[in-house]
Amino acid sequence: MQNNMQHKLITWYQENHRHFPWRENENPYNIWISEIMLQQTTTEAVIPYFKRFMETFDTIDKLANASLEEVYKLWEGLGYYRRAKHIHETAQIIVEKYHGEFPNTYEDILALKGIGPYTAGAICSIAYHQSTPAIDGNVLRIISRVYLLKDNIALNKTQKKITDIVKELLIGYDSSAFNQGLMDLGATICRPINPQCDICPIQSHCLAYAKNQQKVLPINIKNIKHQEIHYTTGIITYQNQILLIQNPAGLLENLYGFIQYDIESPYRFVEEFEKQFHIPLSIVAHIDDLKHVFTHRTWYMHVYHFIINVPIEHLYTLDEIEKLPLSTAHLKVLKAYLKSREF
Ligand code: SF4
């Protein structure tokens, strides 16, 4: 009987793996959509979105033929909307270039929009059992601990080193079970804080455990500048309609939202608005001060209610707004406004 780390991890995975809807079959389409949704989002949060998405678009053809707005609507609340745009574009490429069949080589998959080495590796190993590593934060942490690597895992050269280690480990083993075993081990036992070494299936192979360094490793020091922006955000109403604009580009491209300027006064907001739209605007009330955190930036939104007395383009009733994809940040703004009207 084999007694090495790979064998123990795979056996543990086969007996204890978590059950998710995207694990019910090995269809590359399912695996692709789930992996994209799981970027930056927890498994619990993804499950209902994944189910809804696959019920609506059960084939790549249906997804490719849908409008971008339909895709955004199903994505609403998941955040990082660029992912949805890439999924839509990629579905169209797959229909045009691969006749609707998901490509099956690592290089072809990696060339698709929004798919990086981790996702390409996950699809190739899980759907096609190809010997490709799928290196994410879980794998970096586990390998760093098992091999007692004291290098900073935020650096490319450390990630390359870990990728090479995993490539070696995969030789001769089922890459699907091994990669998913690492994913599950990282999510449930070898967690970032307080790893559960007592019940770890690969404890006897772990050098960090042997040297009592499991609570120190991995070294993960990111040198990312985080930007903070203060906005005055305007709920601008005309009778029972609200003004929303569709973001042309940038972080929240194509999503609808309220007009906001990076200034810290509602009076300056009025000046900016009047300069841009050439109609008078009146301030009604301060609604709330809200914060929304993105990966590399934080928005502080100082929300005010304004009114206009002449109709302009882009006014929507609440029923119409329900059908539009709004950014998560501006859904918070809308909720705060609706709450303020209850008093
Ligand atoms: S023994 Fe502890 S630190 Fe090592 S892999 Fe297992 S859970 Fe992680």
Question: Candidates 162, 166, 194, 200: which one to mutate for ligand 1, based on the most atoms within 8 Å of Cβ?
Answer: 200
Across 39-136, the runs of DSSP E, i.e. the strands, are none
Q: What is the pLDDT of residue 254?
A: 80
Helix (H) / strand (E) containing 236: strand 227-238
Strands 282-293 and 256-257: unpaired
CA quadruple 107, 135, 184, 179: dihedral, nearest 10: 50
Distance between Cα 205 and ligand 1 center (Å) = 9
Residue with CA nearest ligand 1 atom 4: 206
Please list the active-site residues.
35
* DSSP structural state of residue 152: B
Residue with tokens 């209850």: 342
- The atom of ligand 1 lying closest to the CA of 202 is 6
* DSSP structural state of residue 219: B
Distance between Cα 282 and ligand 1 center (Å) = 61
What is the full per-residue pLDDT of the chain (343 aa) written as tens digits? 466 999 999 999 999 999 999 999 899 999 999 999 999 889 999 999 999 999 999 999 999 999 999 999 999 888 888 899 999 999 999 999 999 999 999 999 999 999 999 999 999 999 999 999 999 999 999 999 999 999 999 999 999 999 999 999 999 999 999 999 999 999 999 999 999 999 999 999 999 999 999 998 998 888 767 789 999 999 999 999 999 999 876 667 788 999 999 988 899 999 999 999 999 999 999 999 999 998 788 999 999 999 999 999 999 999 999 999 998 899 999 999 999 987 6
Residue type, 96: E
Is residue 75 within 8 Å of 63, Cβ to Cβ? no
- Cα–Cα distance for residue pair 82/62, rounded to 1 Å: 19
Distance between Cα 130 and ligand 1 center (Å) = 26
Q: What is the pLDDT of residue 1?
A: 44
- The atom of ligand 1 lying closest to the CA of 206 is 4
Residue with CA nearest ligand 1 atom 8: 190
Distance between Cα 215 and ligand 1 center (Å) = 9
Say yes or no: domain 5-210 is CATH 2.30.29.30.
Answer: no
Domain 227-340 in the same topology as domain 5-210: no
- Whether the upstream peptide bond of residue 311 has omega within 30° of 0, thus cis, is no
Question: Candidates 8, 162, 189: which one to mutate for ligand 1, based on the most atoms within 8 Å of Cβ?
Answer: 189
Is residue 86 within 8 Å of 75, Cβ to Cβ? no
Structure-token pair, residue 216: 């120190």
Distance between Cα 185 and ligand 1 center (Å) = 9
- The atom of ligand 1 lying closest to the CA of 200 is 6
Closest listed residue to residue 163, CA positions, set 177, 183, 143, 146? 143
CATH number for the domain running over 227-340: 3.90.79.10
Residue with CA nearest ligand 1 atom 2: 197
Domain ranges for the chain: 5-210, 227-340
